């Protein structure tokens, strides 16, 4: 009961203020029924890290555009018990973080491309939801921007060719194709390639090394400055 209580409190903090702790909290929450010493030790380290954080929150920066932008990443076969992949999506309005999601996939994937493709489809749905909200406020700007570091997933999203390696992928994951297809002169979303080292959503899929964690955590704490630079900067997408 104490373990569930502590993990529940860290989950509350993570879902409100600490997206950089999403992977650790997700992993610990999988052992609610029977935690061992290893899990208690890991939980103690997580709580100690939270207590020692200099910044407990997220910096919100006024966006220069109301385009909904998002990043997606997946760690293929991360779960050692089920061999299911773990994915993460980060959704922003003009580079200002508004939503994040880290979770284990509900189905197995046969390849990295398939796992990344599933998470890309999940990101499209998350962006669509925020776009619908922005439409109600008369603030939406199209198209939305989806950032992905897997070239295979990007190719699959824009290619309807069926092969023996992709024909088993479930229909619901092909939503990304409709989302990025140009219809009546406009698109809901456009996919852009991003280098893996700059894909901040990587922090929510696995245990990364100290350097990568600090880099991605700082990006989240400071209001996604690297993403805003990519979108607005001198050579950015919107310039």
What average pLDDT does range 148-171 have in this prediction?
A: 72
pLDDT at 165 over 60: no
Pairing of strands 189-193, 141-148: parallel
pLDDT digits (tens, 9 = 90+) for 185-228: 778 899 999 998 999 999 999 989 999 999 999 999 888 999 99
Angle at 81 between CA 80 and CA 86, to 5 degrees: 60
Region 167-186: what's the mean pLDDT? 73
127-142 average pLDDT score: 92
Give the whole-angstrom CA distance, residue 202 versus residue 180. Answer: 23
Residue 181 CB-half CA count within 13 A? 11
Q: How far apart are CA 11 and CA 25, in angstroms?
A: 6
pLDDT of residue 57: 82
* 3-state SS assignment for residue 172: helix
Percent of the residues in the chain that have a pLDDT greater than 90, as a whole number: 50
pTM of the predicted model as reported, rounded to 2 decimal places:
0.89
213 CB contacts (<8 Å, ≥6 apart)? 20, 203
pLDDT for position 166: 57
- Residue 12 predicted with pLDDT over 90: yes
What is the model's pLDDT at position 40? Answer: 96
Residue 108 · residue 119 · CB < 8 Å: no
């Amino acid at each position: 009961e104490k373990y569930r209580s502590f993990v529940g409190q860290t989950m509350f903090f993570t879902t409100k203020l600490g997206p950089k702790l999403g992977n650790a909290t997700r992993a610990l929450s999988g052992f609610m029924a029977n935690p061992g010493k290893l899990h208690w030790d890991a939980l103690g380290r997580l709580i100690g890290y939270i207590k020692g954080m200099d910044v407990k929150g997220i910096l919100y920066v006024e966006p220069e555009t109301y385009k909904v932008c998002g990043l997606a990443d997946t760690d293929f076969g991360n779960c050692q018990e089920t061999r299911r992949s773990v994915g993460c999506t980060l959704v922003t309005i003009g580079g200002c973080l508004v939503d994040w999601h880290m979770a284990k996939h509900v189905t197995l994937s046969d390849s990295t491309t398939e796992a990344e493709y599933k998470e890309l489809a999940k990101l499209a749905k998350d962006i669509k939801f925020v776009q619908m909200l922005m439409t109600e406020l008369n603030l939406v700007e199209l198209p939305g921007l989806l950032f992905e570091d897997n070239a295979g997933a990007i190719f699959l999203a824009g290619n309807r060719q069926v092969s023996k390696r992709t024909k088993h992928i479930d229909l619901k994951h092909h939503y990304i194709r409709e989302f990025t297809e140009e219809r009546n002169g406009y698109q809901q979303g456009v996919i852009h390639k991003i280098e893996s080292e700059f894909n901040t959503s990587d922090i929510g899929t696995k245990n990364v090394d100290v350097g990568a964690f600090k880099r991605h955590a700082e990006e989240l704490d400071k209001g996604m400055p690297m993403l805003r630079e990519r979108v607005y900067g001198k050579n950015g997408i919107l310039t």
